Every structure is written in structure tokens, then in C-alpha cells.
Structure 1
Amino acid sequence: MRIALINENSQAEKNGLIYRSLKKVADTKGYEVDNYGMYSAEDENTLTYVQNGILAAILLNSGAADYVVTGCGTGEGAMLALNSFPGVICGHVCDPSDGYMFAQINDGNAVSLPFAKGFGWGAELNLEYIFEKLFSEQSGQGYPRERVVPEQRNKKVLDVVRENNFKNLLTCLKGLDQELVASSLKGDQFKELFFVNCRDESIRSYVRELLGE
């Protein structure tokens, strides 16, 4: 699994701490972690939580990432932004049990964490415990286990509803201000990480044209 970490501007100074906590857990699973920034509050290219949603959608729909870890001060804005796009199911995760149950019941591909609210002494421990539970086993197995059949059925129904209600990602992106989209993709390591891992040629071509490649 390839996990992408994305931080927005208000919590950018915590990127290193979040990355280390995520990578510590991912390494035990043999997962890869790509850090898309922001890397510090001084980064020249800033990201809002709305831009987090744009970037996450491009990464997930292109196959450049299998999972996205993001957040903002409360985690709510980033969650809403990510869930505004097709191909993204983002949960709001505050503690380890949230992480475990979101993975097992909702079987999503992204989480948004509150990186300001309640983020005090022992915050790095809470992050590690969340990531441990989030990636502890194959997702979508149900919780409690005897609920697996109706939960998997509901997830399939949700997938059908979302497929009906959402447009193709490129249609969505092209309907937005193109400078807003482009500014979401100008992080220091975006090109290095994205183009080598992207598996969708139509999205790759769109991004190249958008960035003037």
C-alpha cells in the first residue's frame, strides 16, 4: 500500500511529527509513505484544506496513492473537502477506535485528523495508536464481525449511490478554477512523487498540461 500524507497551512509545522508517526507504523506493514507536504509553515507553496481535497482526489483516482492521511485544525474541513470528489471516501478520525471502526465498517481510502483540537501532551502517541488500528488488518471485515454482511451490503449500496451522483474526476477538475487546481499541485516533491506512481494516463496528461510540462 502507498499512503500519501497531506498537510494544510494551519498545521504545517506538525508535518514532521505526523510523518514520523505514520511511517513508524507503515514500516511495520511494509507500506510506503509519500509526504506531499506542506512541510513547514514557511513553505512557499501553501495548501488550504480545500486544496487538500483536490490533491487527494488526484492522487487516489490516478493510483498514485492507495490511501490518504490528511487533516486540519478540527479535521472537519479537510474531511468535507475530500468527500466532495468521486473516488474518495474520507472518515473523520479522532482516536484509535475511530480509526479501527472506520476501516472495518466503512472501508474508506482516506482519513482526516484534528491536528489542533486536543493535540497536546502525548499527541504523537495518539497518532501512532490511530495509525496502528487504522492499518491493523484488512479493511471492510465488519465491526462487530457478526455485522459484516449488512455492513458490506450497505457499503456496496453507498458505492452505487456515489457513482450515480458524482461526475468523472476530470470533469470535476476542469469545472474548477484551473489556477486553484494547479496551485494544489506545486509542492516541492509533487512531480517527483506523482509522475513515477501515477497509473492513469488521462489524469497524468491533464496534470502535465496544467503544470506546463
Structure 2
Amino acid sequence: MKISIGNDHAGPEYKKAIVSMLEAKGYAVTNYGTDSEDSVDYPDFAHPVAQDISEGKADFGVVICGSGNGIAMTVNKHAKVRAGLCWTKEIAYLTRLHNDANVVSIPARFTSIPQAVEIVATFLETQFEGGRHQNRVDKISKMC
């Protein structure tokens, strides 16, 4: 499975821990994030992740910024992307189970690194339930 990851200056250490976990589980990871805590603009790192999802170059994406909101808003501008802002593993589970999200957005200033790793692992291990949720997911995509 292929994962694209992008982060701004709030997330280099988060990204490092998440990439380590992903690679240990055998995922192929494409890294678009910064490795510095110097201020950068999160859209510069979000758009490449979203393009990978839209073009089928990645199965899932992980994006990280301070609140998780701006980077989620950015990736959600792209067709075929459904990003969910997740600050607990339970929300990550439901975001996949009910919304078939393909990008998880991590709020670095509101989660610990171990929590973020657990959120991403839960997100990737959860399958979309389909059924009554499929019609809703179809309606999300219909507007694109």
C-alpha cells in the first residue's frame, strides 16, 4: 500500500514517528513534508499529497499541521479526496468506517506523538463499512 505524507513546521517530529511506523508495517511512503520547524505554508505540502490521491498514485494520505484544519481544508479542495480531522483514534476509526476518508489530518498542537501514531494506525487498519454510508459518500463526491 502507498501512503503520501505532508506536514508543515508543526509536524516534523510527528511525521518522523509516523513514517517509522508505516515503514515498519511495510507501507511505501512518499514524503512531501518539511523536516524543519522554520515557518512554511502548509498548502505547499498538502497539494502534492492530495494530487497523489486524486491521480491514484497513493492509496491514502496523512497530513499534519498545528490545528489540522488548514491542511485538511486544502486537501479537501481536490477531487477524490475525503480528509478527516482526527484527534483521537475513535474519530479516526469512524472517519474510515462511515466516511471512507482517504486522508487523515493530524492536529500536532492538540495530540501527542504517540497519539498521532495510534490515530494513523487505526485509520489505515479500518475498512469502510459501506451499506447505508455509501449513499452519503457518493453525495460528497457528486459535488466535485
TMscore range, shorter length: 0.7 to 0.9
| 1:81-106 superposed Cα distances (whole Å, 9 cap, x missing partner) | 11122221110011111111101100
**Are positions 1:156 and 2:144 aligned together?**
no
3-state DSSP class of the match of 1:10? coil
* Residue 17 of structure 1: how far off its partner (Å): 2.4
2:27 aligns with one of 31, 38, 41: 31
How many residues align structurally? 144
3-state DSSP class of the match of 2:120? helix
| 1:103-132 superposed Cα distances (whole Å, 9 cap, x missing partner) | 11000211110112243xxx32x1232123
Q: Partner amino acid for 2:119?
A: I
Q: How far apart in 2 are the matches of 1:134 and 1:13?
A: 19
**Are positions 1:140 and 2:122 aligned together?**
no
Root mean square deviation, CA, Å? 2.1
**Are positions 1:15 and 2:3 aligned together?**
no
Change (3 A) 1:101 1:37: same
Q: Partner amino acid for 1:49?
A: Y
Q: Contact 2:8–2:45 at 8 Å: present in 1 too? A: yes
1:129 aligns with one of 118, 122, 129: 118
**Are positions 1:78 and 2:71 aligned together?**
yes
Give the TM-score of the pair, scaled to structure 1: 0.60
Q: How far apart in 1 are the matches of 2:84 and 2:11?
A: 19
Larger proportion of helix: 1
Matched residues, percent identical? 24
Equivalent positions of 1:97-136 (< 5 A) are 97-119=90-112, 123-124=113-114, 126-136=115-125
Give the TM-score of the pair, scaled to structure 2: 0.85
* Residue 13 of structure 1: how far off its partner (Å): 4.5
